[in-house]
Structure 1
Amino acid sequence: MRYSPPLRDGHQIKLIEGGQAYFESLVSALEQARSQVHMETYIFDFHGAALMVAEALERAALRGVRVWLVVDGVGTPRLPAEWRERFERAGVAWHIYSPLGTLGLLIPSRWRRLHRKLCVIDGHLAFCGGINILDDWYDPHHGALPEPRFDFAVCARGALVQQMQETMSQLWWRIQGVRHVRQQKFPEAFSSFRAAGLHLPWSHEAGGAAGAHVVAKAGLLLRDNVLHRTQIEKAYLRAIGAARHEIVIANAYFLPGRRLRKALIHAAQRGVRVRLLLQGRYEYFMQYHATRPVYGVLLAAGVEIHEYEASFLHAKVAVVDPDHDRPWATVGSSNLDPLSLLLAREANVVVADKVFARQLHQRLSRAIDEQSSPVVADTYTQRPWPQRLRDRMAFGLMRLALFLSGNRY
């Protein structure tokens, strides 16, 4: 299997930082939609700035646009009653992907989540990234935040939009088919599963989102549990292996497997500057503590680790050699941890363009220099024993979860 699909020229790619800018670009495009909107997200929250998106979807449906929305059953276990009624009155069609049911996450097969954040408008304009439909200044578990979440998305035109459209349509019709089977509507189920394998025509072109675009070579990377099990991981491995000067990775939940750790260590040992920007604020026990046991071997190899402290880091982005002949950058939903790389549905856009890579590199470098603290090897090895115990417990629990899921990492 190839490490990644071939990248194609002629894409228009715009880098978007933060939820507020993302929502403004997304809403601007939704207001110009004429045929269909198809959106997938892990979290769809109905507070603060996120309401802009819900209201824009409602308005689009009311003027006759076909609107399909899929949310994840863990990230968004239910829609508020008010918005269920509003969506249904407007004609917004929506599904919850893999609802948890009675036993919830006690069943390992339900750890396979829909984690990608995608939107396609009229078949010509697409959004992809790590940003949920969730106000940047608010967290459902932690309340108001001191600074906005650090995250990125892209707005894109070009060949990858068609690929994104097809994978979203496939999932939509498969969900429809499963629902019909459970309802014992077998002719309808057959029609839905058949539609999952068909291309759906889209005939109108959406207006562009505001802001300058970079004309670039780009492609879409997917991770699922059928045909694209390792596509994103292998793309990272290839880019790290080809790096000659610099690698910068910003990742919210970072627990790389053996191959990724070795690739980063080998890059640092051959003289590549490797910088990691990771979560510095406590969010979830497992993700926060399980990461830290891998710091030691990376620091020993010369990898620089910085922890983002201004707010929650939610980015899943990377840049390789932005100032040289073969720049590579990715923006998407995939963390470098076993949940993303082994279980979840994920989507990343890869861009091979110097201008785009430099834009992302500049923003990450500024966050490292101004909003983060370096992890010092001596301080790391001397951290208090209760912290080391929590780190080892979380790491062990993660390994146990992988064993129960039947995956090796």
Structure 2
Amino acid sequence: MVFMPYLVAIIMIVNIALAFTIIFLERKDAQSTWAWLMVLLFIPIAGFILYLIFGRNISKQRIFTWDTKSRLGVKKSVEAQLTALEENRFVFKNPAIVAYKDLYFLHLRNDDAIFTQDNHVEIFTDGKEKFTALIDDIEKATDHIHLLYYIIRYDQLGKRIADCLVKKAKAGVEVRVLYDDMGSRRLSRKFVKRIRRAGGQVEAFFPSKIPKVNFKLNYRNHRKLAIIDGQIGYIGGFNIGDEYLGKAKKFGYWRDTHLRVTGDAVKNMQTRFILDWNQASRNDILYDKRYYAAEPNGDVGIQIVSSGPDSDWEQIKNGYIKMILSAKHYVYIQTPYFIPDESLRDALRIAALSGVNVRIMIPNKPDHPFVYWATLSYIGDLLNAGAEVFIYQHGFLHAKMIIVDGEISSVGTANIDVRSFRLNFEVNAFLYDTGIAEKLVAAFEYDISLSTQMTKKLYEKRSLGIRFKESLSRLLSPIL
């Protein structure tokens, strides 16, 4: 007991030092700073450990360098397109999308997101249809198969895909599978061993160096990409697992949005995969034209936009804000988590208050309770501004989609929350095409028929228990 005062003093000194680090060195935003200071104040020892695991900033670690992008031909293409846009020499195949020049200029300058105009896009909102198409494309592959998923499970769907990959690897097709070490923490080693024994390669993103301990726990690769023979690309919200086919009792039907892309945008999806693969594997993929075999196949304009904690900018969030502020008629959003920061909330409030029809759809059940209650708290802000909110009732809504004025849209892996904008590695397709936007609007409107509307009157009838959960979750939302 004699040493207790000294122990308390040491803990206080460590807490003060850590608080100093958070405020002056990490340069986090104010909300996140205050949230971490509260954690350190109320649970000093555990808070220190939690900060080491969840709170460290990796934005200054350049994981995907210009040198790598230069070898893949990205640097030259970006600079050429930027110059053409700045000098008004860029030729737009669809005159209607010239109005959004500032949006794709933003992505090009902010994320090296090359704008392509010759793509064909197929939309999937059902997991069975998406995986039927993906497996069919895998079975037809003749050169290479590249898969990147946040979650891979070795269940019925996972085994079926593994069977296809093993078969193709034995036939001489290059097979590479990249999964997130935390998202796929329950992945059976049988999946990995089977593919490797067949001649394929499997790697984990940010794996644990110490068993059961991962100091990059908070920075995960949430991307979902599949590239077949460099000609076909998949991007969207579906992971690999039976629940994404609607077989999980907890969630029921799984409503998501995924795209199958052919055309030059596949080259940019391939680049994203190669960058992620080279970060995770010692066996780097070097440039080879067969990885970039995509040919023009339509007239849909696309930019593949990535974001992650290694960047100083929140590329996808900035794209969302730019889209919202450009809206003249409506903004439709589907997201499983709605925890916008102040800048995105302001954009949505301004849009709603200025007469733009802002519609937001969220699920009726949580897969992460704290996030769900925080979502409900932020919904109230938008209701007060005149936005319409719909609660999807036909299972679990996992789609990450935004549509503006039936002209531009975005589908990908990024949720409307702090984790997606600042902590996770994400990738979205920003689409400049009225036909695609109209199809996404039709899907959204069909989902409204399967939803209930959360009115301001209903929202105000929440019980004290729900209000308390919302307030606590909202307080912690910057670090959830």
Please state which band the TM-score falls in when normalised by the shorter chain. Answer: 0.7 to 0.9
In structure 2, relative to structure 1, the CA distance for the partners of 1:363 and 1:228 (3 Å cut) is: farther
- Secondary structure in 1 aligned to 2:367? coil
**1:379-406 deviations in Å (ceiling 9; x for gaps):** 212211111111112222223x27xxxx
CA distance in 1 between counterparts of 2:135 and 2:365 reads 30
- Secondary structure in 2 aligned to 1:221? strand
Matched, 1:175 2:254: no
CA distance in 2 between counterparts of 1:88 and 1:127 reads 23
Matched, 1:390 2:478: no
Partners of 2:377 and 2:471 within 8 A in 1: yes
Structure 2 residues not aligned, in runs of 5+: 1-103, 109-113
**Paired letter, 1:359:** K
Query: TM-score, normalised to structure 2's length?
Result: 0.72
CA distance in 2 between counterparts of 1:162 and 1:276 reads 32
Partners of 2:153 and 2:186 within 8 A in 1: no
CA distance in 2 between counterparts of 1:304 and 1:336 reads 16
Report deviation, 1:84.
2.9
Partners of 1:319 and 1:361 within 8 A in 2: yes
CA distance in 2 between counterparts of 1:335 and 1:121 reads 26
Q: How does 1:319-330 map to 2 (within 5 A)?
A: 319-322=403-406, 327-330=407-410
**1:152-211 deviations in Å (ceiling 9; x for gaps):** 11111222211221221122122124xxxxxxxxxxxxxx6xx57x5343268699xxxx
- Secondary structure in 2 aligned to 1:220? strand
In structure 2, relative to structure 1, the CA distance for the partners of 1:292 and 1:152 (3 Å cut) is: same
2:176 alignment partner in structure 1: 68
Partners of 1:243 and 1:272 within 8 A in 2: yes
Structure with greater proportional helix content: 2
Matched, 1:243 2:327: yes
CA distance in 1 between counterparts of 2:377 and 2:143 reads 50
CA distance in 1 between counterparts of 2:456 and 2:191 reads 50
Q: How does 1:138-153 map to 2 (within 5 A)?
A: 143-144=248-249, 147-153=252-258
1:123 alignment partner in structure 2: 230
1:264 alignment partner in structure 2: 348
RMSD: 2.4
**1:104-146 deviations in Å (ceiling 9; x for gaps):** 46x4x4211010100111112111001101223457xxx4257
2:130 alignment partner in structure 1: 22
Matched, 1:332 2:420: no
- Secondary structure in 2 aligned to 1:112? coil
Partners of 1:332 and 1:347 within 8 A in 2: yes
Partners of 2:119 and 2:264 within 8 A in 1: yes
Name the stretch that deviates more: 63-72 or 44-53.
44-53
Q: Quick one: higher RCO (CA 8 Å, sep 6+), 1 or 2? A: 1
2:67 alignment partner in structure 1: none
CA distance in 1 between counterparts of 2:437 and 2:462 reads 36
1:288 alignment partner in structure 2: 372
Partners of 1:29 and 1:206 within 8 A in 2: no
Partners of 2:363 and 2:391 within 8 A in 1: yes
1:224 aligned to which of 308, 314, 326:
308
Name the stretch that deviates more: 45-54 or 290-299.
45-54
Name the stretch that deviates more: 241-250 or 226-235.
226-235
Partners of 1:304 and 1:374 within 8 A in 2: yes
CA distance in 2 between counterparts of 1:363 and 1:92 reads 37
- Secondary structure in 2 aligned to 1:144? coil
Report deviation, 1:103.
5.8
CA distance in 1 between counterparts of 2:266 and 2:292 reads 13
1:187 alignment partner in structure 2: none
Count of residue correspondences: 370
In structure 2, relative to structure 1, the CA distance for the partners of 1:154 and 1:381 (3 Å cut) is: same
**Paired letter, 1:156:** V
Report deviation, 1:296.
1.9
1:134 aligned to which of 241, 262, 269:
241
Rg larger for? 2
1:180 alignment partner in structure 2: none
**1:323-365 deviations in Å (ceiling 9; x for gaps):** xxxx001110100101110011111111111111111110111
2:435 alignment partner in structure 1: 355
CA distance in 2 between counterparts of 1:104 and 1:33 reads 38
Partners of 1:38 and 1:168 within 8 A in 2: yes
Partners of 1:117 and 1:128 within 8 A in 2: yes
Name the stretch that deviates more: 198-207 or 284-293.
198-207
CA distance in 2 between counterparts of 1:338 and 1:204 reads 34
1:3 alignment partner in structure 2: 106
1:199 alignment partner in structure 2: 287
CA distance in 2 between counterparts of 1:262 and 1:121 reads 40
CA distance in 1 between counterparts of 2:170 and 2:149 reads 21
Partners of 2:128 and 2:245 within 8 A in 1: no
Partners of 1:130 and 1:153 within 8 A in 2: yes
Partners of 1:276 and 1:305 within 8 A in 2: yes
Structure 1 residues not aligned, in runs of 5+: 178-191, 208-212, 403-409
CA distance in 1 between counterparts of 2:291 and 2:204 reads 27
Report deviation, 1:227.
4.6
1:303 alignment partner in structure 2: 387
Partners of 2:182 and 2:217 within 8 A in 1: no
Matched residues, percent identical? 27
Query: TM-score, normalised to structure 1's length?
Result: 0.84
Report deviation, 1:241.
0.7
In structure 2, relative to structure 1, the CA distance for the partners of 1:175 and 1:49 (3 Å cut) is: closer
1:183 alignment partner in structure 2: none
1:189 alignment partner in structure 2: none
Partners of 1:245 and 1:321 within 8 A in 2: yes
**Paired letter, 2:367:** E
Report deviation, 1:59.
1.7
